[in-house]
Amino acid sequence: MNKPLIIALSKGRILDDTLPLLAAADIHPLEDLKKSRKLIFDTNHDHIKLIVIRATDVPTYVEYGAADMGISGKDVLMEHGAREMVEVLDLKIACCRLMTAKVKGVPRTTGRLKVASKFVNIARQYYYEQGQQVDIIKLYGGMELAPILGLAHEIVDIVDTGNTLKANGMIPDQLIADISSRLVVSRSAMKQKLSTIQPIIDRFKAALAHNN
């Protein structure tokens, strides 16, 4: 019996923006994804199932073939590396910026920088390309506290409105990348299930074209 096609969705804001796009692509979960405690969801297509997981886990599920397709933020894909998957579409949802940020009015240190971020791989690569020596401090949240309390000189984080930075006396500084959510497909699924996957990709493309 053929296994169903699994699409991994990111929890949170990305899921909110994904649901209308799924509907436009004629993929409808049979239950409320945000209210149910289930982990795997049936859809109006017998051969398509959805899983809703942490955004940071989506590339791992797709890379190792537990999910055939996924929707993930570009920031997560950049941090993960995304080697065993193909980025097939920019869905242009959950848009934001990945930036450095610092305390307003404080001049940049001329020596070795201490940088706090959950994006340690991206931060390390970015400052390396700038020729700047850094110590990367991994944090999972509350980034703005790090410069305020002297743990770090700068942070690398997602910036949406910038209001959180402003409320904590900080300002965005250097743009690292513009971020949006992407549709990714595992390389193995692209080879083995292309006849099933391609119509889904085409429906997403049509939905995007209609929205634009």
State residue 1's pLDDT score: 47
Pick the CATH number of 96-178 from 3.30.420.40, 3.20.20.120, 3.40.190.10, 3.40.50.970: 3.40.190.10
**Could you give the CA distance from residue 170 to residue 156 in angstroms, rounded to a whole number?**
12
State residue 22's pLDDT score: 94
- Percentage of the chain beyond pLDDT 90 is 87
Topology agreement, domain 5-94+180-211 and domain 96-178: yes
| Locus of tokens 């920019």 | 90
**Could you give the CA distance from residue 177 to residue 202 in angstroms, rounded to a whole number?**
27
Contact 41, 34 (CB under 8 A): no
> How confident is the model over 78-105, as pLDDT tens digits?
999 878 899 999 999 999 999 999 999 9
The phi and psi torsions of 43 (rounded to 5 degrees) equal: -125, 180
> How confident is the model over 189-203, as pLDDT tens digits?
999 999 999 999 999
- For residue 160, pLDDT beyond 70: yes
User: CATH says 5-94+180-211 is which class?
Assistant: alpha beta
Closest CA to 182 of 80, 91, 83, 104: 91
**Could you give the CA distance from residue 108 to residue 25 in angstroms, rounded to a whole number?**
47
State residue 108's pLDDT score: 82
**Could you give the CA distance from residue 18 to residue 94 in angstroms, rounded to a whole number?**
9
Contact 11, 36 (CB under 8 A): no
**Could you give the CA distance from residue 73 to residue 10 in angstroms, rounded to a whole number?**
8
Q: Which residues contact 191 (CB under 8 A, 6 or more apart)?
A: none
Question: What residues does each domain of the chain span?
Answer: 5-94+180-211, 96-178
